[in-house]
């Protein structure tokens, strides 16, 4: 059986394109569901608030958490902050907290927050923020990066990139429903 060299090259080219397409799909696919990443490191962390005072993140254990990693220099991060603030204001009475961790310099965050009102707690630490973000699935270092954590401490979704109000509503609706007992 004689194989035409141009046919072989074409087959290799097609396989390479399929492999590349699959790789791109995996990188940019939809948010992950119920991650196996551990939230233990999150609740063991202490991170400064913008005033430089250390705060234990254990205070948010047993709450539904919308954990948002962001930076002042990140345009999509700044765009989503009003929606996150609004969502927090409307749902904080339902055992939910939105927590922002700025992967940025304390001085920049403090200055930014003087101009931009945010209703949810903000913490600042470039190094710890990067480490926590990676531990919670952000292996590519994308900002903004949001992690939805159930009150049982289980990661429900991770969202690389800007999050929108309709996504928050859809993802969190089942978590915010009161549980029905038999």
The closest of 146, 150, 147, 149 to 179, measured between CA atoms, is: 150
Mean pLDDT across 5-22 = 70
Please state the φ and ψ torsions of residue 110, each to the nearest 5 degrees. -60, -45
Q: What is the pTM of this model?
A: 0.78
pLDDT tens, 27-77?
444 444 444 457 888 999 999 999 999 999 999 999 999 999 999 999 999
Mean pLDDT across 88-107 = 95
Task: Determine what percent of the chain is predicted with pLDDT higher than 90.
Answer: 71
pLDDT tens, 150-175?
999 999 999 999 999 999 999 999 88
The closest of 146, 142, 81 to 115, measured between CA atoms, is: 81
pLDDT tens, 42-54?
999 999 999 999 9
């Amino acid at each position: 059986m004689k194989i035409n060299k141009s046919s072989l090259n074409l087959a290799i080219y097609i396989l390479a394109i399929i492999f590349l397409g699959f790789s791109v799909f995996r990188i940019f696919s939809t948010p992950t569901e119920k991650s196996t990443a551990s939230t233990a490191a999150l609740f063991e962390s202490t991170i400064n608030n913008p005033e430089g005072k250390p705060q234990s993140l254990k205070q948010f254990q047993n709450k539904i958490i919308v954990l948002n990693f962001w930076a002042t220099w990140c345009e999509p991060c700044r765009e989503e902050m009003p929606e996150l603030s609004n969502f927090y204001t409307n749902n904080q009475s339902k055992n939910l907290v939105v927590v922002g961790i700025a992967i940025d310099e304390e001085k920049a965050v403090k200055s930014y927050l003087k101009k931009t009102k945010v209703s949810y707690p903000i913490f600042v630490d470039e190094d710890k923020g990067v480490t926590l973000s990676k531990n919670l699935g952000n292996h590519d270092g994308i900002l903004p990066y949001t992690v939805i954590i159930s009150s049982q401490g289980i990661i429900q979704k991770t969202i690389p990139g800007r999050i929108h109000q309709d996504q928050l509503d859809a993802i969190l609706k089942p978590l915010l429903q009161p549980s029905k007992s038999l």
